[in-house]
Structure 1
Amino acid sequence: MIASLPSTDTVLVTGCAGFIGSHVVEELLRSHNAVVGVDNFSTGRMENLANVIEDSRFSIQRTDLTDTVAFRRVLEQVRPSAIIHLAALVSVPQADRDPDYNFRINIEATHVLAETAAKLGVRRIVMASSAAVYGDAHQGALHEDLMPCPLGRYGAAKLISEQILAVAARVGGASASCLRFFNVFGPRQDPSSPYSGVLSKFVDLGRQGKALTIFGDGEQTRDFVAVRDVARACVAAALESEARVEIANVCTGAEVSLNSIATMIQRLVPDLPAPVYLPARENDIKRSCGNPDRARTWWGFEAKAPEKALQDFLVGALGSSGSPNWCDRLHKDAA
């Protein structure tokens, strides 16, 4: 039961059964923290928690953050020392199609969390923000002092949530870390999900021996960061002792083009047909790369070099010849 967990060292993780959340739970347990997870399982999966479900330090609550009464009740029961807030609507197109739901889950839930945490004396909130707040900034590595200019409702909601937490902290609430994730990849990213990233979709097509679909010329770049590195950043921010409001990129500082990834996959699956190029999508960002200096300065955090991390992931997912068992390995951690 929740009440049996010690409140002094408990971290609450929203979205705990998701792709990123499950890795964060594992990282917290490795750091000897008790963890309470919250998830409504709309996109999260119980099998993502297979490595931790039997751990006595871990407990899970099936709760929807848009049910504000139920969510407040969980927070009041747990009284965590810190919260890592990962639950969100992560589909950019769906956020534009359903702005009301985007508001409820990506803005209102953050407000409820911030206000309830302040009343309960929660020490720290870490929120999953996004590089989407920068929009299509035509510059080099994006740094946190740039003027945000989100292109759609998803990025706007993340920016508003950052401001909600910052203001709450300044008027006596929990200190806040808003981590702007760039393109996260790794085990447990479901390629069949409409919310999935380009890399897992490429791998799924490679497994099936189908041509990769690339929108635009393939020279668009992304800053791909491994999910285990993202989990380390979340935990470092949650356990930091200094009380401050902070915004930090979680990225590698390196750009990788979609054509480069296609080439990596074709080397692993030599019989794969040539990529199919389709017209570029509206509002598709041409270039995305973050500046990682702030996270390195504050927490000594440094992500794995993207070329090595990507190659390790693709070999594990596809094998040296496009092994059809990639999906089983994709949902397990490498040894």
Structure 2
Amino acid sequence: MSTKWIVTGAAGFLGSHVIEQLTEKGDEVVAIDNMEWGVQKHIDPFLDKPNFKFYKQDICEIEAIQKIFNEEKATGLIHLAAIHFIPDCIKDPSKAVKFNIFGSQVVLKAALDSGVKNLWFASTGDVYKPSEEPHKEESTVEPFNIYGKSKLLMEELVRFAANENPDRRIVIGRLLNLYGARETNPHILPEIIGQLKKDINTTLRLGNLYPKRDLVPIHEVAKTIYETFDKVEDGCYTLNYATGVAQSMQEVIDMIGEVLGKKINVETDPAKVRKSERPHLQADVSKLKNILGWTPNHDLKSGLTELLKGEGLL
């Protein structure tokens, strides 16, 4: 039986993979994106599909969002729309607060008022207090940047609503560092690939290489999102979506070099060094595994090989 989903941020990085998988499995998809950060070519392949509809719409416009939800009568929501590139949030914190908190509240209310049964909200591992240990969902939350703070407040709004609506299935997904095709923000992996595509023999100019990150393949995260609702009962769940394994950026660069069969030289670019950098971000994924029976693949070398092939570097 197919499900009708509303997906916000549908033309973004994760959104494009979510709508691709949902339409392929025969579900109906109602995509929403204001296209400020979304990419047109991410949704173009779906515009002629009978089970896909697109609204170019800002999530902060209350009446327009409520109208879409009322008319579409979806049974599922996957809320991905946000400002999530940390330098952008730092540059314009008011805008980050507007979209990540107020916009999420608009979507949340519209979904509940229109009777949506399954609601998934994208949060982040940046809500956790910095630690060298893998974060469990019960770990201390103490974000140290505006992005993490905005997402933590969004979580609190969602939990409050969940308490008032115990007959829904509501999931808060704390995403770690996603990687794969169609990245829309200049994170370090697309930066590396972009420089290598210009000159395979270049010396990379990058920022900090010491941070360790739990890198998660984008297409597998997309799958875990909608499959979660096949496994949970009514209630509110907070889950880490990650692999449970962390590598430093230097280790990632060395791995790319192994895949390409060459040594990659790096020099520090002061302009790319973040003033505030979390040294370690890794999740405990036991809870997700207990629910789904599986977690995203942590074989980073295979994932990087696939990504480099897709980018024409292999």
Q: How much does 1:229 deviate?
A: 0.9
**Which one of 205, 210, 214 corresponds to residue 195 of structure 2?**
205
Residues in 2 aligned to 1:240 and 1:85: alpha-carbon distance in whole angstroms: 19
Query: Contact conserved, 1:206 with 1:265, CA < 8 A, in 2?
Result: no
Q: Tell me whether 1:286 sits opposite 2:279 in the alignment.
A: yes
Q: How much does 1:60 deviate?
A: 0.6
**1:99 partner amino acid:** P
Give the secondary-structure state (helix, strand or coil) at the position aligned to 1:23.
Answer: helix
Counterpart residue number, 1:58? 52
In angstroms, what is the RMSD of aligned CA positions? 2.1
Counterpart residue number, 1:91? 85
Q: After TM superposition, list the pairs within 5 Å mapping 1:169-318 onto structure 2.
A: 169-172=162-165, 174-190=168-184, 195-209=185-199, 210-216=202-208, 218-240=209-231, 242-267=233-258, 274-278=265-269, 280-305=273-298, 306-318=300-312
Give the secondary-structure state (helix, strand or coil) at the position aligned to 2:234.
Answer: coil
Identical residues among aligned pairs (%): 23
Query: Contact conserved, 1:27 with 1:232, CA < 8 A, in 2?
Result: yes
| Alpha-carbon displacement from aligned partner over 1:253-302 (angstroms, at most 9, x marks no partner) | 11111112222333455677620124652221111111111111112231
Q: How much does 1:236 deviate?
A: 1.4
Counterpart residue number, 2:65? 71
Counterpart residue number, 2:36? 42
Query: Contact conserved, 2:65 with 2:110, CA < 8 A, in 1?
Result: no
TM-aligned CA distance change 1:269 to 1:139, over 3 Å: closer
Residues in 1 aligned to 2:93 and 2:274: alpha-carbon distance in whole angstroms: 20
| Alpha-carbon displacement from aligned partner over 1:76-105 (angstroms, at most 9, x marks no partner) | 111211100000011212222222211211
Residues in 2 aligned to 1:237 and 1:163: alpha-carbon distance in whole angstroms: 21
Residues in 2 aligned to 1:318 and 1:219: alpha-carbon distance in whole angstroms: 28
Residues in 2 aligned to 1:213 and 1:108: alpha-carbon distance in whole angstroms: 37
TM-aligned CA distance change 1:270 to 1:207, over 3 Å: farther
Residues in 2 aligned to 1:241 and 1:32: alpha-carbon distance in whole angstroms: 21
| Alpha-carbon displacement from aligned partner over 1:199-221 (angstroms, at most 9, x marks no partner) | 111111111123223323x2321
**Normalised TM-score (structure 1):** 0.85
TM-aligned CA distance change 1:269 to 1:172, over 3 Å: closer
Residues in 2 aligned to 1:82 and 1:253: alpha-carbon distance in whole angstroms: 28
Residues in 1 aligned to 2:230 and 2:8: alpha-carbon distance in whole angstroms: 16
Query: Contact conserved, 1:264 with 1:311, CA < 8 A, in 2?
Result: no
Residues in 1 aligned to 2:56 and 2:36: alpha-carbon distance in whole angstroms: 10
**1:200 partner amino acid:** P
Counterpart residue number, 2:100? 106
Structure 2: gaps of 5 or more residues: none
Residues in 2 aligned to 1:37 and 1:239: alpha-carbon distance in whole angstroms: 21
Query: Contact conserved, 1:129 with 1:178, CA < 8 A, in 2?
Result: yes
Deviates more, 1:86-95 or 1:50-59: 50-59
Residues in 2 aligned to 1:271 and 1:118: alpha-carbon distance in whole angstroms: 53
Paired positions, count: 308
Q: How much does 1:31 deviate?
A: 3.2
Query: Contact conserved, 2:180 with 2:217, CA < 8 A, in 1?
Result: yes
TM-aligned CA distance change 1:11 to 1:238, over 3 Å: farther
Query: Contact conserved, 2:255 with 2:301, CA < 8 A, in 1?
Result: no
**Normalised TM-score (structure 2):** 0.91
